[in-house]
Structure 1
Amino acid sequence: MPAGPVRLSGRLSLPAAPWAVVVLVRGSGPHGPREQRFADALRGRHLGALLLDLLAEEERTPHDVHDVVLLARRLRAASRWLRREIPLPVAYFGTGTGAAAALEAAAGDDIRAVVSRGGRPDLAGPAALAAVEAPTLLVVGGLDTRVLGRSRVAADWMRCEHRIAVVPGATHAFTEPGALATATALGLDWFTDRLLRPGPAAPRPVPPRPGAA
């Protein structure tokens, strides 16, 4: 998909009759098995999933990985492409610096929900955080005190509906028994509650009136 002078690669998967599409983003490279499993779980909730790679192979340097403005600009471009191809509501799921890019890109845009899992929302600019309107969930491991503190700083700037969900006993990577499953369930429930409700962009089908042709 086009994003300025580059073309982004991604994997789009849709269930039958999807209600919305969740774009999965990370700043450090291609998605791994954990993101693919989350995408599979989204389809089980009648939500599409776009696993999006925001960087080309030659761009995987510490500078580019942490260039939140660059990542957000490309994410916005991908979202515009997605809306043209599939006219459905769009939501974001971010990990690492991808969470900051998701919040930067959501600022001032019609993004329906954002979930950060072990992300760095504090790397988004304060003005962008204050401009986000999408309901936002920040999932953090209870033992990941550094990211937990930074998430609280980011949340202080936010004016939209938002919540910090702490997974007890979990570290940054959620490798402890049951930790990733808990974090996954939190994200799925957040998206389900906010994307499967009727709204202007995704109305429920209206049954015909009795006697209507």
Structure 2
Amino acid sequence: MSVDALRALHQRVSVPRLIGPAPDPEQQQAMFDAALRAPDHAYLRPWRFLVMQDEGLEALGELFGKAALADTPDLSADTLARTQGLPLRAPLLIVAISCHQEHPKVPAIEQDLACGAAVSNMLIAAHAMGLGAVWRTGALAYHPLVKQGLGLAENEQIIAFLYVGHPAGERKQVPQLNSDDFFQRWPHST
């Protein structure tokens, strides 16, 4: 593995504050290609992705607003506006959808994990290209009206709202973790 690939893996951080412009078509394609290299038991390709910019972000905001009003009909105008503005936090948003397929050796959870790995690959690719990205979900990812509005089938679920753009300001420092706190040899030697 190249030093650049290891650097991207070791230094990637979530970047919640994002500005435009959106990644250019070449950068987007590099992220898409990275997603499709995710580990995938039985080559099911149990994913699909909705890519949103401009009017797509506004339409998603309207959908978020409908879902919020369905849950809380007396929602304040400020809260409704904030909810509708959530997709506008980045110039590009990718909705990662896990598509469960019947398979005797690959349960749904493994298919969700494969889709999650595809999202992780896109995060790393974005970082390697100098972009910023953050993986978000929250209650709206599971809301029936959002799922319906995005055209999800019964066998599908949202795994991530992946926000992508350029970092607004300095990236936060990468926390230095001690691998010994998380990795243990097994069986333990005495």
Q: Quick check: which one's helix share is greater?
A: 2
Is this a same-fold pair by TM over 0.5? Answer: no
Between Structure 1 and Structure 2, whose CA radius of gyration is higher?
2
TM-score normalised over the length of structure 2: 0.30
Larger relative contact order (CA 8 Å, sep ≥ 6): 2
TM-score of the two chains, using structure 1 as the length reference? 0.28
